[in-house]
Structures are given as structure tokens and as C-alpha cells.
């Protein structure tokens, strides 16, 4: 199985899981309509979308005369009596929440032929309702209503009023319209945003820090290079000097032959270049353009530069160290038998020489 297919399957699984979970969060409100005759024999009707269907209840219409259990208003125990049966006109049990499970209350009413069960919330809960779970009592319309409404109906019935109720399906409420879900989404969004911003700030700070570090290092290396350049030998070529009449000897930076009167700098590796050509080069790179000999190292100017050296490609020439006078020179050689700079294999770091240096590198 390809990696892409695996990813798609995983995504599909996650999505189906999400849909499944969302479905579990969906609940339906119920429209509760009650009607009764008052003392003046007038019919009073009230309705509101104030009930919530139980999780295991069918979401459909139910209607009937509201009936209270005789005795315990919570309708618990082995046999709460409603004084009605399945042959009575359609009736709906009204019980108070508490003392036993929702399933027990519902099943007791169901056994005696109720068309539906209305559970009203505990005292002190005002008009609030909860989403009931009653897995052992399915197949009967069950809703919960608020405590105030429940107590008002109980009061009417206890006064001898016959109250009729019609329960119908209200709106579906999903996670997308649930306040808690919205809170959760906002918090999740906030966390993700905050984490992204924090990550961005961290990365930027790290980059800035590295940049300033490398700038500082570059500055330090430049000042060291300046010191080293001051210590290099400078000569003015005279007529008759070997450099002025050899065609093979030329400044590797500007590729021009030397003339009498030219001011040249002699590097620690004995390679010579025009002073004006080699100084900017050395400030920038600190190595001989021909043999990559490190002048800072050779002149002992360097301090803890190990990491910067290892980052560059090391010179692939043999280096021997000779001591003369006060200064220690490192002379790169391809032929261990000779220290003659003329015979050095020329390795140009300067891009202008790339073509010429190719065979030497191979």
C-alpha cells in the first residue's frame, strides 16, 4: 500500500470518527403543548419548545392526558401506580427526576400503557433541562422539561384539573450550534494560533541570534585577517627579479604578469600576488588563492577558529611545517620531496580559475 493511500485511509477514518461523534452529540428539542379548562370553563393553551428528547427516545409525536404516579412523585420503586392502563384514553406520565434511574421510571410507566413519559428536573434547577440517557428503556417517547413547568402542571393536576399534553419534534441541535462546542473550538483555535505564533517567534529569534553570531564571527575574522596582512612580507619587484621575466609566474588574482616596480605580497606559503589584489581577497577569505594555505593559522593569529575551519573544505594538499626565524610557516606540497613553490600544484579558490584548475583538482 502506498504512503498516500495510507494517509487517505487515516484521514477517512478520522473523518468518519468525527462524524460518528458529532452524531452522538446531536439532540432534539421537543415542542410541548398543554391545554386545560380553567375555573371559568375556558380552555387555556400554552406551548413552548422547552423539552428535550431523551437520547434513547424515538423522536416523534405523543399526546395524552397527563397523569401523576400515586404516592412517590418520582415514580420509582417496584410498582408505582398511575391508576390507568393501556385501555384508558391515551395518557402521558409526569414524574420528577431523582431517586432511581431514568430507565426505571420510564419502564414503570411504559408497563402500565403510557403513550409517553415526561420527566421534570429537580428543584432549584429553574427552567433548565438535561439530555437524558436511558439505554434500558427504549421505544417510548420520553422528554425532559424544566422544574418550574413540571411543578406548575403538578399543581394544576392536584387541584383537579385535567391537563392534556401534545409533544412534537422540535429542532435538531448539533455540536455546531452548541455553546460548549463553540467554546471548545474557540479555545482550540486560540491554542493552535498561540502555538504557531510562539513557534514563529522562536524560529525568528533563533535565526536572528545565529545571524548576529555569524556576523560577529565574520567581524572578528576580518580584524584578525587585517592583523595577519600587516605581518606579511611586502616586496617591490626590481628589474632582473625572476618574477618579472617568467611567463609562468603571474598574479593568480588578476592573471597579469609581474613587472618591475610592482608591489607584491608574499604569503606564508611563499606564493606571491599583487599587494592590491591579494589584500581584499585575504580580508574576505584568509587563505591563499592557490594552495588554500590559511594565513591566520600560519601566522598564529587565529584563536578558537576550529569550527569555522572544519566547516570549510579542508585543503587536500600535504602540509608540512617549517620553522624559520620568529614565524612558523606551513608550506603545502604535492611533491613531498620539494619545497619549491614553482612546483606546487596550483589549486585556485578564485572562481575565475575554475576552468584551469579543473585538471589539477581531478
Decide if residue 277 touches Zn ion (CB under 5 A): yes
Q: Which stretch binds Zn ion (CB under 5 A): 44-52, 86-94, 218-226, 291-299?
A: 291-299
How many chain residues bind Zn ion (CB under 5 A)? Answer: 11
Decide if residue 153 touches Zn ion (CB under 5 A): no
Q: Which listed residue (274, 275, 286, 347) binds Zn ion by CB under 5 A?
A: 274
Q: How far apart are CA 308 and CA 124, in angstroms?
A: 75
Burial class for 39, CB neighbours closer than 10 Å (0-12, 13-18, 19+): exposed
Nearer to Zn ion, 74 or 271 (CB): 271
Q: How far apart are CA 175 and CA 24, in angstroms?
A: 9
Nearer to Zn ion, 104 or 349 (CB): 349
Nearer to Zn ion, 82 or 273 (CB): 273
Q: Which listed residue (141, 237, 251, 296) binds Zn ion by CB under 5 A?
A: 251
Q: How far apart are CA 51 and CA 32, in angstroms?
A: 6
Q: How far apart are CA 315 and CA 225, in angstroms?
A: 19
- Interface positions, 52-91, toward Zn ion (CB under 5 A): none
Give the residue among 97, 143, 156 at the shortest CA–CA distance from 116.
143
Cβ at position 267, least distance to Zn ion in Å: 5
Decide if residue 293 touches Zn ion (CB under 5 A): yes
DSSP per-residue string spanning 315-342? P-SEEEEEEETTEEEEEEESSTT---GG
Q: How far apart are CA 314 and CA 318, in angstroms?
A: 11
Q: How far apart are CA 226 and CA 301, in angstroms?
A: 10
| Inter-residue contact 259 to 266 (CB < 8 Å) | no
Nearer to Zn ion, 277 or 299 (CB): 277
Q: Which listed residue (76, 282, 291, 295) binds Zn ion by CB under 5 A?
A: 291
Nearer to Zn ion, 35 or 334 (CB): 334
Dihedral sign of CA atoms 201, 206, 209, 210 in order: negative
Q: Which stretch binds Zn ion (CB under 5 A): 6-14, 111-119, 171-179, 266-274?
A: 266-274
Q: Which stretch binds Zn ion (CB under 5 A): 36-44, 136-144, 280-288, 296-304?
A: 280-288
Angle of the 275-285 helix axis to the 179-230 helix axis, nearest 10: 150
Grid coordinates standing for 59? 423522536
Nearer to Zn ion, 84 or 274 (CB): 274
Decide if residue 254 touches Zn ion (CB under 5 A): yes
Cβ at position 201, least distance to Zn ion in Å: 47
Grid coordinates standing for 188? 482550540
Give the residue among 316, 269, 270 at the shortest CA–CA distance from 294.
269
Q: Which stretch binds Zn ion (CB under 5 A): 78-86, 90-98, 199-207, 254-262?
A: 254-262
Cβ at position 252, least distance to Zn ion in Å: 8
Q: Which stretch binds Zn ion (CB under 5 A): 87-95, 171-179, 239-247, 283-291?
A: 283-291
Nearer to Zn ion, 232 or 253 (CB): 253
Among left, alpha and beta (phi > 0; psi -120 to 50; other), residue 276 is: alpha
Decide if residue 275 touches Zn ion (CB under 5 A): no
H helix or E strand, kind and range, residue 171: strand 164-173
Decide if residue 201 touches Zn ion (CB under 5 A): no
Distance from first CA to last CA of the chain, Å, rounded?
A: 45
139-149 burial code (b ≥16 CB/10 A, e <16): ebbbbbbbbbb
Nearer to Zn ion, 118 or 269 (CB): 269
Decide if residue 253 touches Zn ion (CB under 5 A): yes
Q: Which listed residue (145, 167, 288, 299) binds Zn ion by CB under 5 A?
A: 288
**DSSP 8-state secondary structure symbol assigned to residue 285:** H
Q: Which listed residue (84, 96, 97, 271) binds Zn ion by CB under 5 A?
A: 271
Q: Which residues bind Zn ion (CB under 5 A)?
A: 251, 253-254, 269, 271, 274, 277, 288, 290-291, 293
Amino acid at each position: 500500500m502506498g504512503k498516500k493511500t495510507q494517509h487517505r485511509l487515516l484521514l477517512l477514518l478520522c473523518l468518519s470518527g468525527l462524524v460518528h461523534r458529532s452524531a452522538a452529540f446531536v439532540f432534539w428539542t421537543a415542542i410541548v403543548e398543554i391545554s386545560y379548562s380553567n375555573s371559568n370553563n375556558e380552555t387555556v393553551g400554552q406551548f413552548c419548545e422547552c423539552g428535550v428528547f431523551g437520547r434513547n427516545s424515538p423522536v416523534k409525536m405523543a399526546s395524552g392526558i397527563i397523569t401523576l404516579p400515586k404516592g412517590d412523585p418520582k415514580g420509582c420503586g417496584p410498582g408505582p401506580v398511575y391508576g390507568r392502563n393501556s385501555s384508558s384514553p391515551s395518557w402521558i406520565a409526569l414524574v420528577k427526576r431523582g431517586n432511581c434511574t431514568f430507565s426505571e421510571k420510564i419502564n414503570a410507566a411504559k408497563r402500565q400503557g403510557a403513550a409517553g413519559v415526561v420527566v421534570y428536573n429537580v428543584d432549584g434547577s429553574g427552567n433548565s433541562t438535561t439530555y437524558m440517557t436511558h439505554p434500558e428503556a427504549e421505544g417510548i417517547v420520553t422528554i425532559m422539561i424544566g422544574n418550574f413547568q413540571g411543578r406548575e402542571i403538578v399543581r394544576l393536576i392536584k387541584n383537579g384539573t385535567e391537563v392534556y399534553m401534545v409533544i412534537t419534534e422540535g429542532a435538531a441541535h448539533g455540536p455546531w450550534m452548541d455553546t460548549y462546542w463553540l467554546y471548545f473550538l474557540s479555545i482550540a483555535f486560540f491554542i493552535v494560533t498561540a502555538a504557531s505564533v510562539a513557534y514563529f517567534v522562536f524560529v525568528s529569534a533563533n535565526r536572528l541570534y545565529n545571524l548576529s553570531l555569524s556576523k560577529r564571527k565574520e567581524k572578528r575574522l576580518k580584524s584578525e585577517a587585517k592583523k595577519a596582512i600587516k605581518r606579511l612580507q611586502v616586496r617591490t619587484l626590481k628589474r632582473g627579479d625572476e618574477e618579472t621575466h617568467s611567463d609562468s609566474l603571474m598574479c593568480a588574482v588578476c592573471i597579469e604578469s609581474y613587472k618591475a616596480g610592482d608591489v607584491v605580497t608574499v604569503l606564508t606559503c611563499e606564493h606571491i600576488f599583487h599587494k592590491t589584489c591579494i589584500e581584499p581577497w585575504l580580508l574576505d577569505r584568509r587563505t591563499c588563492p592557490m594552495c588554500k594555505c590559511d594565513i591566520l593559522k600560519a601566522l598564529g593569529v587565529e584563536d578558537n577558529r576550529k569550527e569555522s575551519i572544519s566547516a570549510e573544505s579542508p585543503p587536500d594538499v600535504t602540509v608540512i611545517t617549517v620553522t624559520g626565524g620568529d614565524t612558523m610557516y606551513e608550506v603545502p606540497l604535492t611533491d613531498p620531496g620539494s619545497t619549491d613553490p614553482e612546483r606546487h600544484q596550483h589549486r585556485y579558490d578564485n572562481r575565475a580559475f575554475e576552468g584551469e584548475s579543473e585538471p589539477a583538482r581531478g
